[in-house]
Structure 1
Amino acid sequence: MQTLQQPDLERIARRRAGAKLGWYIHAGVYIAVNLGLATLSALSDRHWAIFPAFGWGVGLAVHGIVVFAVTGGVFDSLVARERRQLAAQKDPW
């Protein structure tokens, strides 16, 4: 496996940090909005706030899986495998 140069490392590190920061912002907005919805739901004596919280929670979970599991582990291993295959070929196109 080849070692990455400093500009490549910087670019990859910034991309990963940006993806993680995006998920943290998404989670913060999810908590703030759903606390507000839960308050409105409690004041109206009806428990409707669970539905948007559940739907949005599924989206937040998928976002987290993509950011923390797929992008970090599986994606990098697939990219490395493709690089090895392309390096073994004489002309990839």
Structure 2
Amino acid sequence: MMSEEELRKEAEKIASEKVGWIVHFSSYVIVNFFMVIFWGVTSGWNSFPWFIFMTIGWGIGVAIHFFAVYIDLGWKEKMKIREYEKLKRLQQQK
């Protein structure tokens, strides 16, 4: 069972990760909005939408970030436990 302090630190970490994703997503939306406006004004609305490559690539990154923060598949916890056990073994060998 986690102590009150450990729970607080874990909650802060999770909240920080969620805020990080919100900032990432917000910047994605704002920058892409202005890229579309820039494309329309400079190239004409009927020209090739060159911004789409950046939008798709960055969108994939935002989606991966979302899954890493909000969809807990348990792999992070398993990795933490594995690293903890590894460090403990190394400490015992010394």
Which bracket does the TM-score occupy, shorter chain normalised? 0.7 to 0.9
The alignment-based identity, stated in percent, is: 29
1:35-55 deviations in whole A, cap 9, x for unaligned?
000111122123111111111
Task: Give the secondary structure class of the aligned counterpart of 2:19.
Answer: helix
Equivalent of residue 32 in structure 1, options 20, 30, 33? 30
**How many angstroms apart in 2 are the aligned matches of 1:27 and 1:52?**
14
- TM-score normalized by the length of structure 2: 0.74
Aligned to 1:74: 75
Tell me, which stretches of 5 or more residues in structure 1 are unaligned?
none
The residue number in structure 2 matching 1:7 is 5
RMSD: 2.8
The 2-side partners of 1:82 and 1:12 are apart by 17
Following superposition, the deviation at residue 30 of structure 1 comes to 0.3
1:77 Cα deviation after fit = 4.6
Runs of 4+ with deviation above 6 angstroms: 81-84
How many residues align? The count is 90
Unaligned 5+ runs, structure 2: none
TM-score by length of 1: 0.75
